[in-house]
C-alpha cells in the first residue's frame, strides 16, 4: 500500500460518517413472508433471489410462503407474539389493517434517501403511506387488471372484442354452448372474487369510497349485482361451478377451453400462456367500461419491514426489487408489471403488443379502496352475500343490504 492509496482510503473512511448506514453493503439474514404460490411466481422469486445472492452476497434471504387465505391471521398472531418476519409482502388493500395493528416499520427516511426513489412516480407509494405521510414500504411489482379472451373463438364467431360490460355480456351469451362444455365467461364467485364485485358496483355508479366517505348507492349497487350475478342466473353464460370457483378454477377453465373470457391481472400472463394447447390463440384487453365508469385496479405488492432486528439487511432485500434486472426477471417469469417507471419503459415491455392493454390501463386505473376493515368486509360480507345471489338464496336487493350494513359496521 503506497501513500496515495492510504490517503484515498482515509478520505473514503471519512465520508463513511456522511453516508447513511443503510446505503453501505450489509451482511446478515432476512426472514421474508410472501404469498407466491403458483409455479410461475415461485420461478420468478427464484430468479430474483439468485440475482440478489450474486449482487449482495453478504445477505441471506429465507423465504416462507403464506397462503392468501391465512395471511392476515398469521400476521396478527406474529404481532401478538412479537415474532414478526424481517420483511413482509403487503398487498395494497391490506396496508391500513397491517399498519393499524403495528405490523410495519416506518422506513420514510430510508426511502427518501434511496438512489432509485426517482424511478417511481409518487402515486406508486400512495398505497403504503399513512395519513401523516409516513412510508412503510417500497412497491415491488404491480397488478394491472385486464381481461383475457379467446381470439380464435371471437374470430370464428365474427364478434369484435368487447369494450363495454354490455358488449362483454352479449359476447358471453353468443359464445356459450353447454353441449360443448363451452361458456362465454369464467366468473370468479369463489375465493378471491370479492374485489371484482366491488369493481362492478363502481362501474355501475356505486363506488364504496369517495375521499374519506364510505357509502353505497343502493339502487346502482343492486343494478350492478343483478347484472353480474345474472351472467349465471339469467344468461347461463358462465359455468355452474362459478359460486365456488377461485383462482385456479378460473385460470384452468380458460386454459382448457371451457371459457372464452376471464378477468384477472397481468400476473397470470405467463401462467396462462405456458399451459395453453398448441394452436390456441388468445389476446388481452383493457377492462370493459360500465354504464357509469371504467374500472380497473392498479394494485401494488409492497415489500415492507416488519421487524427492525435485521433492519439494514432487510432494507437491502427490499430495495433490490427496484433494480432493473430484478424487475425484468420477475416480469419474464410471471407477467407481473414492474412498479418502477424506469423499468416499465424497457423495450421488452413497451414493444410487446400483448402488454398494450396494461399500458392503456395505467391511464385510467385506480387503487383499491383504502380503509381499515376493507379486507374483512369484502371477504366476510361482500363475497358471501354475492354467493347467496348466485345460488338463489337471496335477491340482489338482499345482498346489497347485507353489504351496506357490513360497511356501516366497518366504518365505525
CB 264 within 8 A of CB 252: no
Q: Each residue of 112-136: pLDDT tens digit?
A: 999 999 999 888 898 899 989 999 9
CB 128 within 8 A of CB 90: yes
Q: Each residue of 36-91: pLDDT tens digit?
A: 988 889 999 999 999 999 999 999 999 999 998 899 999 999 999 999 999 999 99
Quote the DSSP letter at residue 268.
Answer: G
Rounded distance between C-alpha atoms, residue 71 and residue 62, angstroms: 17
pTM, 2 dp: 0.74
Give me the phi and psi of 121, to 5 degrees please. -65, 145
Rounded distance between C-alpha atoms, residue 94 and residue 99, angstroms: 9
Comparing CA positions, the residue from 188, 144, 141 lying closest to residue 285 is: 144
Quote the DSSP letter at residue 118.
Answer: G
Confidence check: pLDDT of 9 > 80: no
Q: Each residue of 375-402: pLDDT tens digit?
A: 899 999 999 999 999 999 999 999 999 9
Mean pLDDT (the chain, rounded): 89
**Whole-number pLDDT of residue 26:** 55
> What is the grid cell recorded at 411?
366504518
Amino acid at each position: 500500500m503506497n501513500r496515495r492509496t492510504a490517503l484515498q482510503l482515509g478520505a473514503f473512511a471519512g465520508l463513511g460518517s456522511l453516508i447513511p448506514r443503510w446505503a453501505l453493503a450489509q451482511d446478515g439474514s432476512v426472514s421474508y413472508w410472501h404469498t407466491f404460490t403458483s409455479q410461475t411466481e415461485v420461478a420468478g422469486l427464484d430468479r430474483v433471489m439468485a440475482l440478489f445472492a450474486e449482487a449482495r452476497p453478504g445477505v441471506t434471504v429465507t423465504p416462507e410462503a403464506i397462503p392468501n387465505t391465512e395471511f392476515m391471521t398469521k400476521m396478527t398472531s406474529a404481532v401478538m407474539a412479537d415474532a414478526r418476519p424481517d420483511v413482509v409482502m403487503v398487498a395494497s388493500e391490506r396496508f391500513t389493517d397491517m399498519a393499524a395493528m403495528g405490523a410495519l416499520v416506518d422506513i420514510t427516511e430510508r426511502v427518501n434517501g434511496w438512489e432509485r426513489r426517482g424511478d417511481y412516480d409518487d402515486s406508486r407509494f400512495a398505497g403504503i403511506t399513512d395519513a401523516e405521510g409516513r412510508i412503510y414500504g417500497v412497491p415491488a411489482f404491480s397488478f394491472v387488471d385486464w381481461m383475457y379472451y379467446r381470439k380464435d373463438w371471437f374470430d370464428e364467431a365474427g364478434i369484435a372484442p368487447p369494450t363495454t360490460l354490455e358488449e362483454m355480456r352479449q359476447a358471453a351469451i353468443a359464445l356459450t354452448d353447454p353441449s360443448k362444455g363451452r361458456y362465454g365467461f369464467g366468473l370468479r364467485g369463489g375465493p378471491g372474487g370479492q374485489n371484482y364485485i366491488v369493481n362492478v358496483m363502481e362501474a355501475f355508479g356505486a363506488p364504496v369510497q369517495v375521499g374519506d366517505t364510505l357509502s353505497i348507492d343502493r339502487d346502482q349497487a343492486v343494478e350492478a349485482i343483478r347484472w353480474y350475478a345474472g351472467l349465471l342466473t339469467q344468461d347461463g353464460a358462465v359455468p355452474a361451478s362459478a359460486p365456488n370457483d377461485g383462482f385456479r378454477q378460473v385460470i384452468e377453465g380458460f386454459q382448457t377451453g371451457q371459457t372464452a373470457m376471464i378477468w384477472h391481472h397481468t400476473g397470470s400472463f405467463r401462467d396462462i400462456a405456458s399451459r395453453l394447447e398448441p394452436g390456441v390463440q388468445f389476446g388481452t384487453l383493457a377492462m370493459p367500461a360500465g354504464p357509469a365508469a371504467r374500472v380497473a385496479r392498479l394494485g401494488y405488492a409492497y415489500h415492507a419491514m416488519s421487524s427492525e432486528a435485521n433492519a439494514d439487511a432487510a432494507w437491502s432485500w427490499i430495495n433490490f426489487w427496484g433494480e432493473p434486472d430484478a424487475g425484468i426477471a420477475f416480469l419474464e417469469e410471471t407477467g407481473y408489471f414492474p412498479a418502477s417507471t424506469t423499468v416499465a419503459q424497457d423495450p421488452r415491455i413497451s414493444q410487446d403488443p400483448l402488454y398494450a392493454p396494461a399500458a392503456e390501463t395505467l391511464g385510467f386505473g385506480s387503487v383499491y379502496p383504502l380503509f381499515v376493515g376493507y379486507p374483512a368486509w369484502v371477504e366476510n360480507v361482500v363475497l358471501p352475500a354475492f354467493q347467496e345471489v348466485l345460488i338463489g338464496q337471496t335477491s340482489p336487493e338482499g345482498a346489497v343490504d347485507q353489504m351496506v350494513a357490513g360497511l356501516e359496521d366497518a366504518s365505525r
